[in-house]
Amino acid sequence: MARATFGIDGELVPLDSERDQNLLVAGQWVVKVANLAEAESTLELQVAALAHLAGADPTLPLPRLQRSADGEALVRWTPVGAAGAHLVRCVTYLPGRPLATVQRTVSVETDLGRVLGRLSAALQGFTHAGAHRPDFLWNLDLAQQCRPWLADVADPNDRALVERALDRHLRRVVPVLGQLRTAVVHHDANDYNVLVDGQPGAEHISGIIDFGDMLVAAQVNELAVALAYALLDVPDIVATARRTIGAYVAEFALAANELEVLFDLVVARLAMSVIISSHRSREFADNEYLLVTQAPALRLLRRLMGARPAFWHFVARDAAGLAPVPGSPGIVEWLGSPACQPGPVLHAPLAAADIVTVSLADGAPGMEFAADPVGYEAWLDEYRGQRVAIGLYDEDRNVYRGDQFTTDAPETRSVHIGIDLFVPVDTPVLAMLPGRVVSVVDNDMPYDYGPTVVLEHSAGDAGPFWCLYGHLSRRTLTTVGVGQVVAAGDVVGFVGDRTVNGGWSPHTHVQVMTDLLVGDDGVFSGNFEGAGEPSRMSIWHSLVPDANLLLRLPLSR
């Protein structure tokens, strides 16, 4: 058939596929025999898309159509004993190994984004009647249609994880789906449909194959689907995502509302993959290909669901070269403007003679007592005398030992993102601006905040921001309550001792937040990170700008 129809001849080698029967011919061409259940309009769509792309961007690493002797790209063939005529296509074979089988490198992660961005750009303006597939199983726009198959996920813990992922999609994506731009998208740049070639250190994407999942859907789905597989088992999700997203948007810009839901769509795609593969493997128990990515998909899903959704939104914006927190630049500008007139955080304003800075970085004076809180407290009291010792913002420290400082990153959260005011126990802490109490919580883990108060303030037209006071005394817990309105100068807490404040020398940690990073339930937990990972500080600086914008202490490093 290949010889008579397409003029090609040679050894036939079977290739894996979910729906078609694919055969490599002479190592140069791929003959794709379509499943009888495949709609002809879908195959016509693929042919039309490849023809369009060949003209729109001839250098894209995509299969090229091999037409029949009659000039047709899609022909009918009825094998002996077949139940009907199969539609058959032939395309050029692309060299390379599936992304799933190669070591991820910076060049590969970057080139993946670049090639996909070019693909999205080249598909702009392409339309086809066959691209409208409202009932297509893998349509990410319709992730919620997988819910009836949740019971097919055998492990109850996996099932609960996947259900939470669908719940995130329902809460964050479904309400805004109608506002996202749509386009014809490839929709399946998984790690077996992306090919990599080249020598070590110079690897590149050599092919994007299998256009069988093409359809009209949200434009952002293109990148979301690719990330769902590109991030599988990578050491650092944020680092890889930055490279791939950054390279993609350099070729094809994404809108703010697309970046907001990008990782929610990644989560939904992973959930779909687990559910659909579980369901179909029950129907076709002998097809191992159906479960090929389930275990790594579950691992990635756990990592992504382990962080709050807003954090991933800010990662996407950071990767795209935008301010990670959209409102942060306006808030920071207001805090530094004449419109912001904060009062002191202690009963009297602090002049230069009233303060002394102290470092908790490795090797700094006093750090010989880092493992001895009693010894450090004695050293600190002698060092500061009657002054207030100030622990600085943006200092990389080695004193954070609790499990809460270990994250998905390959490093711990070690960079301090507040300002510490070391003062005597029971020193009153004051609101610096009028506001409202949004949280009063005792975070009583070792190395944590102990009692903490969070106030919400207004930055005028820039919107709300929040101020956290940590390491307070338990007396604080009955001093203020959630919902209470406070004026500048009102007492909102008292400094605690090391037996209640997480184990630290008496001080209060003050930090400003431009977003509360609420959880999947939409509720603020009352706790907020006080340190960030060194490699992610561009995000933390946007989330937690320097508290000295409010404190206005005469500091110098």
Nearby residues of 466 by Cβ (< 8 Å), 6 or more positions away: 438, 454, 455, 456, 457, 512, 513, 514, 516
Burial of 327 (0-12, 13-18, 19+ CB in 10 A): middle
Nearby residues of 363 by Cβ (< 8 Å), 6 or more positions away: none
- Read off the pLDDT of residues 62-115 as tens digits, 9 standing for 90 and up: 999 999 989 999 999 998 888 889 999 999 999 999 999 998 899 999 999 999
3-state secondary structure of 505: coil
Share of the chain above pLDDT 90, in %: 84
Tell me the pairing of strands 97-98 and 194-197: antiparallel
Tell me the pairing of strands 12-15 and 21-25: antiparallel
Is residue 287 scored above 70 in pLDDT?
Answer: no
Contact between 173 and 61 under an 8 Å Cβ cutoff? The reply is no
Dist. CA 439–CA 483, nearest whole Å: 8
Amino acid, res. 183: A
* Buried-state track 426-446, b at ≥16 Cβ within 10 A, e below 16: ebbbbbbbebbbbbbbbbeee
DSSP state of 288: G
Beta bridge partners of 441: 452
Contact between 122 and 68 under an 8 Å Cβ cutoff? The reply is no
Mean pLDDT of 300-327: 97
Residue 248: pLDDT band with limits 50, 70, 90:
very high
In order of 371, 471, 499, the CA distances from 379 in angstroms are: 13, 19, 18
3-state secondary structure of 331: helix
Report the predicted TM-score, pTM, of the whole model to 2 decimal places. Answer: 0.93
Q: Which range among 58-72, 168-182, 281-295, 308-322 shows the weakest confidence by mean pLDDT? A: 281-295
Is residue 557 scored above 60 in pLDDT?
Answer: no
Radius of gyration of the chain (CA): 29
Measured CA angle at 490 (ends 484, 495), to 5 deg: 100
Predicted local distance difference test score (pLDDT) of residue 291: 61
